Each structure stands twice: as structure tokens, then as C-alpha cells.
Amino acid sequence: MNDPSPVTGTSGHVATGVWRTARLIAGKDLRIERRSRVIVNQVLPFAALVMVLFAFALDNDDVLLRTAPGLVWLGTIFSLLILVQRSFAVESADGALDALRVAGVNPAGIFLGKSLALAVQLVVLEMLLVALAMVLYQAQLDAMGAVLLVTTIAPATTGLAFVGTLYGGLAAGARGRETLLPLLLFPVVAPVLIGATRATEAAFGAGSAAIDEGWPWVGVLLVFSALFGVGGTLAFGPLIEE
Amino acid sequence: MDHAGFIFASYIAAFGGSAGLAWYAIRRGRALGRQLPDEDKPWI
Amino acid sequence: MQSPAGTEAGTEAGTDGRTGNRTTDRHTNGNEDSAHVATTQTPPTASGSAHRAAGSARAGTGTRFTRVLGVLTIAALAVLALFALVLSPPDVVQGESVRILYAHVGTVWVAYLAFIVTAVSSGAYLWKRTSSLTWDRIAGASAEIGVLFMAITLFTGSLWGRITWGTFWVWDARVTTTAFLFVTYVGYLAVRGLGGTHEQRARRSAVVALLAVLEIPLVHFSVRLWRSVHQDASVAGSTDVKLDDEMLFTLLLGTVAFTMMYVWYVLHRQRVLAMEDALDDKGLDLALAERRNEGLEARDMTEGTTR
């Protein structure tokens, strides 16, 4: 792609589309991660540690096997907090988010771009946690289960990425706000936790859940993602305005 | 009355909470009202 | 420039905001045009000075309507307590524990009403045609009493549940959603406290409130679907009580009484919030006026003129 960097039109608006803005911002976030490796070095080990701590707390192999799906998604949600904080920490340095806004970059593009980058990071995290569940908790996955699992991870991840970016934008910035993020975020991700866990239970065959029972939950996750994708795109701009 | 403890606890919570909130509202209103002239109070 | 005599009463006991305004007028108008002064202060009348004593003699947010409403509310609550605790009969099935419901149903109704009002007010604030900070303040006031009544609802409900079902808590959709609504309110109030200009606060919290409108039904639906697997989705449905007339009356009275309490509180509280915002603005006006004065005085000194 040999397009020049975004050009400011006469109206002062950056003359690029929302999707292009999103791709540029997602690319920026992922490039920053590739160079700094903060997530690879810190967040993934944290997530792995959480999975180990769960084993210490639950202290029972049967219980671990049965709850493995829940633990995978709990681990994901705890790590989501850190991922979101990281996603906006890279903006607070040098006031980058403000600069983007003042330059007239479409906030919807910022939202979608950061959500995309966050989603990519989340997928890597989730794959790690699933692998750990299979290793540490003896969770099992057959072919159909794997299909269900992949179909679950897609909408669950985008849903988490959307709400994480949305509330992360609100909680970022001024001191004393970061503690707001869990309080705002956790109630909102509850439907994802419920839906993803039930679907993953069906995928793992844990607790004698049949594969079929998982698919309605994938539907719930799709609805959630769609609603917060649209809602977040509209709400992000007003929320980050200072 | 059976379960009198729970019943009274419920009413103390409901009525007490309301009363406390009302008292707080009035007190705050008076404290601020003393600091502002009438033109800032459109309800007067 | 001499201020009209009637406003001198305001000087000594004057709030900083008033002084700031007058100073501004003196410098920016620079003439004897008392009409300019009059527009920022109540027109001077012989009997007017009592009103312009700083902070009015009428401190407080009461009006005749709210005083009447307040008295009626207290009366309604007293009658409610009488009927709920003494006059109404115990239920055939539930026994005395039904008495808790007379308060519980009222508070849960108000809690949900408060949530709806917050959501609608937030929408009204964001919609250009009706945008006004009053909507924002109503949303905030409603959320405050909503939080308290949610807490009371959860508390009384769990006590009732302990008696009726043997447990303080059930994981059904209605109860869980109420708990989520409570936490969401708490988050909303935290967002209101983030600071910034009044408009920023208003816009931010309005967006958060509308997102909550999106989130709560999703939570409710997810929990309902979840618990239906465990076949106890209808546990909370068994609040059905065979009501005789007295019990029905007491239930409705409870709902009405707490609704009156809600209206009374929101009226008072949004006035208090209006005063807090006004004080904020005056503080800003004062600071601006002082800066302006410094600049003007510096200019006067260098130009060698005095006013």
C-alpha cells in the first residue's frame, strides 16, 4: 500500500475513511506490541499464572475439569483488564489520543482500530488459555468441539474487544480513573462470560453438555458483539472527549 | 409475630434509608442555599 | 461608578460571586448605566434589599409544592407502616413474611423507575432539541436514590427469600439483574464524579447510562437462558400471593408512598445539583474576573490613568 499518510482536507477533517483509519490504528497498536513485547512478556505469563492459581484454589481434579471452561474465560476477562489498560497507556504517553482527536481523526475509526488490535491480542491469549486448560486441567477437545470452540471464540472476542475499548477509553487518562475500569467493565462482560462458558462447556464436553447446546450461546455472543460494535462506534467519540 | 427481626430490619432499612437520604438532601440544600443569591434559584 | 443604593446591602455579606460580577460590570461598562448593573442583579426596590442579602433568607430547596408533597409522603409512609406491620393480616401461605413484601415491592418499583428516568433524562440531554443541563441533573439525582433503593430492594428481598425459600440468594434472572443494575448504578455515579466541565460530565454520564440500557436486558436474557438450563427460572415467579383486599391495598400504598418519596427527593436533589453547578460557575467567573482585573490594573498603571 503506497498511499501517503492521511491528508488533511480543507475542512480540517482527515480525508480517510473509517475503515482505513481503523486499519492504520490497529496496525500501529500491533506494531507497538511487536516492538515492546509487553503483552508477550507480561500479560501472557500473568494469564498462565492465573490458571495455575485456579488449580491451587480449587484443589480437585474433577472440579477443575468440570470448571475448565469457566476458568478459561475468567482468566481471559482478568487479563482483558490489563490488555485494555495497556491499549490506552500507549495513547496517554505523549497525549497521543488527544492528538488523534484534535487532528480530526474519526473517533469511530479509532474505536474500531483499537478494538481490532485488542481482539488480535485476545485471540492469542485465549488460545494460550485453552491449551493450558487441556494441559493443566485435562480438558479434552474433539473435532466437533474444536469447530464449536472456534465459532465461540470469534464473537466472544469481538464482544470483549468492543466493550473493553469503549470503557477503556472512558477510564483512561486522568489519574484516579483506572480503578473505574473493572467496575464499569465487569457487569457489561457478564453476558459474554455466561455465553462463552456455556458454549465452551459444550465444546469440551465438560459436565456432560452436548455439543448442540453450545450453538444458541454462540447466537447470544453474536448479538452482544453486534450491539456493542454499533453502540461502541457511536458512543466512543462522546466518551473520550475532554 | 414470626420473623419479627427480619421484618423490622426490612422496615428500618427502607424507612431509615429514605429518612437518611431526605435529611441529607435538605441539609445540603440549606448549606448551599445560604451561599447563593435568589436569582440562582429558579424554583423560587 | 456608584452602584444603586439598594444593592449595597449585598456588598458586606456578598458572596464572592456577586462581588466578582459587580467588579466586572464596573470595569467593562465603565459608565453610569445602571441598566447594565440591574441586569445582573435584581432591580433595586425599596424593599428589595432583604432579598439581596447574600444567599437568600430562603436558604434551601423547598417550595410550597415540595413541602406539601413532603408532608403527604410522611403521612403515606406512616399509614403504610401501620397497615403493613399491624392492620393487614398475615398471608395464608407465607405467614408474617409477606409484611416484608409491602416495603420490598415499593422499593423495587422505585428502583426500576429511577433507572428508567435516568435513561430517559440522559437521552433528553443528548438529543439536541431538548438538551439542557437540567436533564443531566435529574438523571444524576434519580440515579442516587435509585442506588439506595436498589440496595434496600436487595436487602429486603434477601431477607424475604431467607424466610420463604431458605436462602438469602437465588441465581435467577430477576434477582441477578437487580444486582447488576445496582452495580451499574454505582459505576454510573462514579463516572459522574470524574470531573471536568458540566457539559463533559453530562455527556459522559448520559452515554454511560444509555449503554447501561443496552447492557441490562442482555444480562437479564443471558441469565434467564442460563438458569433455564437448571430449570429454576421461575423460582422468583412464586411471589404470587393470594391477596385479599387489605393486602392489595397495602402493596399499592407502599408503591405510591415510595414513589412520592422518589419524586420529592429528585426535585430537591436536582435543585441542589443546580446550586452546586452554579457555585462552580461562580467560582470560575470570579477567577476570570480577577484575572481580567489584574490585566486591566496593569494596563491602567502603565497608561497612567485611574478609574
C192 within some domain: yes
| C111 and C43 fall within a common domain | no
- Closest-CA residue of C relative to B22 is C265
| C110 and C19 fall within a common domain | no
pLDDT of residue C34: 41
| C190 and C262 fall within a common domain | yes
pLDDT of residue C89: 83
| C155 and C35 fall within a common domain | no
| C217 and C260 fall within a common domain | yes
What band does C142 get if pLDDT is binned at 50, 70 and 90?
A: very high
Q: How far is CA A66 from CA A129, A207, C171, in A?
A: 15, 6, 19
Percent of chain C with pLDDT over 90: 41
Closest chain C C-alpha to B16 CA, distance in angstroms: 10
Kindly tell me if the per-residue pLDDT of A121 is higher than 50.
yes
Asked if C155 and B35 come within 8 Å (Cβ–Cβ), the reply is no
Q: What does the alpha-carbon distance between residue A200 and residue A109 come to, in Å, rounded to a whole number?
A: 32
| C30 and C161 fall within a common domain | no
Residues of C in contact with A215 (CB under 8 A): none
Query: What are the phi and psi torsion angles at A180 (to 5°)?
Result: -75, -25
Q: What is the pLDDT of residues C36-55, one digit of tens each?
A: 433 444 444 444 343 444 55
Minimum-distance CB partner of A191 among C190, C195, C218? C218
- Closest-CA residue of B relative to C60 is B30
Closest chain B C-alpha to C281 CA, distance in angstroms: 11
| C269 and C147 fall within a common domain | yes
What band does A160 get if pLDDT is binned at 50, 70 and 90?
A: very high
C297 within some domain: no
What band does A176 get if pLDDT is binned at 50, 70 and 90?
A: low
Q: What does the alpha-carbon distance between residue C32 and residue C37 come to, in Å, rounded to a whole number?
A: 9
Q: Are A15 and A7 in contact (CB under 8 A)?
A: yes
The dihedral over CA atoms of C266, C63, C284, C127, expressed in degrees to the nearest 10, equals 50
Average pLDDT of chain A is: 87
Asked if B11 and C103 come within 8 Å (Cβ–Cβ), the reply is yes
pLDDT of residue C52: 40
What band does C31 get if pLDDT is binned at 50, 70 and 90?
A: very low
Closest chain B C-alpha to C259 CA, distance in angstroms: 11
Closest chain B C-alpha to C115 CA, distance in angstroms: 17
Chains in touch with C (≥3 Cβ pairs < 8 A): A, B
C123 within some domain: yes
Q: Are A133 and A64 in contact (CB under 8 A)?
A: no
| C43 and C155 fall within a common domain | no
What band does C294 get if pLDDT is binned at 50, 70 and 90?
A: confident
Kindly report the CATH number assigned to the domain that includes residue C158. 1.20.120
Q: How many CB pairs under 8 A join B and C?
A: 139
C296 within some domain: no
The whole-number average pLDDT for the span A150-155 is 95
- Closest-CA residue of C relative to B23 is C265
| C131 and C51 fall within a common domain | no
Residues A64-95 as b or e (16 or more Cβ within 10 Å = b): bbbbbbbbbbbbbbebbbbbbbbbbebbeeee
Kindly tell me if the per-residue pLDDT of C9 is higher than 90.
no
Extended beta strands in C220-268, E state: none
Q: Which of residues C39, C59, C79 is at a domain's end?
A: C59
Q: How many CB pairs under 8 A join A and C?
A: 70
- The number of folded domains in chain C is 2
Number of neighbours of residue C136 by Cβ within 10 angstroms:
28
| C161 and C12 fall within a common domain | no
**Full residue range of the structural domain in which residue C7 is found:** 1-59
Which sign does the torsion angle of CA B28, B30, B36, B38 carry? positive
Kindly tell me if the per-residue pLDDT of A99 is higher than 50.
yes
Residues of C in contact with A198 (CB under 8 A): 226, 229
* Interface pTM, i.e. ipTM: 0.91
The whole-number average pLDDT for the span B1-14 is 89
Q: What does the alpha-carbon distance between residue C200 and residue C206 come to, in Å, rounded to a whole number?
A: 10
| C2 and C115 fall within a common domain | no
